Amino acid sequence: MSSSDYGSVELNTRRKSFGVSLQTHEWQNERTKDSYPRDLSTNIEILNSSEDFGSKGSYKLCEPVKNFVFVKTTKTASTTVGATLYRYGLKHNLVAALPVPPTGVDLHIEGNKVDVTTYPCTEVFPGYNYISSHLRMYNRESLETVIPNATYITILRSPYTQFRSSFYFYAADRTLNLEKWRNPFEKFVKNLTKYRKPLPLSHQSRNGQLFRLGYDCDLVCDIPIDQIIQKLDKEIDLVMITEYLDESFVLLKQLMCWSTKDIVYYSLAQRPRGHTPITKGMEAIISKWNRLDLILYNYFNRTLWRKIEKYDGDFKEDLRLFRAKQIQIANECAFNSTNDACKLSQLNVGQLKKLVAKLQYNKFCSKQKQIYI
């Protein structure tokens, strides 16, 4: 791989002085033309069709993937993806590897040991199928001992908006007494050295997405960033991109040999805020501060679009079918919220994990007293 693969070639010259800029692909400019239809009348033929796998492609002959690991990142729509995967697991009776305790946030990895909930109450345990919890920290070799031969997925977001989202998620505006400012995040970004220690963003203080992928880096890593990216590119089968979530889900469907219904998602974790825009000056500062995250994002953003170009089938048609299915199911649930599938769609990732924990305990420990979480 040449150095240009890691972001040193500028596609946006106004930030050339920092060596890295947020990069785009020519397809990304076309995406805005394919907006969601405003009503169902133009999609009756699509919605009444029994076909749920999209355009013709060799992936339709494959077997659905049942063993997978989702490496969750922070403030990247990973909650939306994680909830979708939990719903798939519930629908297909798969076994999730849960943290200790099972409703905890992070699944801890210490050396080669993954601390997962076990079921000693059962004599025959079939093994785990999937992980959809946060990991601390990602380690492929250790995870292979829990779920061998799994398909690996993660998601990345523009480091500019991800950093802002983390700022508010960790309530740094209140912790640092910045609420009186018209734009607390701008004040924070322009005074990063002042708030350097301790930064109130936990592990998201700097290059937070790289941290979730197993590398606790500040300004630099012990391993060169190009080597880190090469390793992650080999280990992770699909890196989804938040800004192109629909496109990412269509790629996920084909990778996993799932149906369109399997990947319909619900954005329940969105917190609308009146954020002022991130200025060019703020972007320049964040480009330097989260430089490694930006290089990481640029590389895998390009990788996403290369996968789209090599898609087995008619990608634009499958994207249209997926968006139509999203609307269909949203309308069905609006008129029939008591439907089991619709009720499941209203659960957030924490509630889904709680449900999974209860069902798995009762399944494997049925001879003992059942628990109702």
DSSP-assigned letters across all residues of 46-109? HHT-S--S-S--GGGGSPPP--EEEE--SSSSHHHHHHHHHHHHHHTT--B---SSTT-SEEEE
pLDDT at 57: 62
Q: Is 356 helix (H, G, I), strand (E, B) or coil?
A: helix
What is the assigned CATH class of domain 45-364? alpha beta
Whole-number pLDDT of residue 15: 36
Cα 191 from chain centroid (whole Å): 30
Write out the chain's pLDDT in tens, 373 residues: 444 444 433 333 333 333 466 766 555 555 444 433 333 333 333 333 445 666 666 556 889 999 999 999 999 999 999 999 999 999 999 999 999 999 888 999 987 889 999 999 998 899 999 999 999 889 999 999 999 999 999 999 999 999 999 999 988 888 888 988 989 999 999 999 888 666 667 788 889 999 999 998 876 788 999 999 999 999 999 999 999 999 999 999 999 999 999 999 887 555 555 567 899 999 999 999 999 999 999 999 999 999 999 999 999 999 999 999 999 998 888 888 788 888 888 899 999 999 999 999 999 997 654 444 4
Kindly state the helix (H) or strand (E) to which residue 135 belongs, with its residue range.
strand 134-136
The Cα–Cα gap between 130 and 138 comes to 14
pLDDT number for residue 195: 80
Q: Which residue's entry shows tokens 């995406």?
A: 31
Query: CA 151 to CA 189: how far, in whole Å?
Result: 37
Q: What is the pLDDT of residue 197?
A: 65
The tokens of 90 are what?
Answer: 């519930």
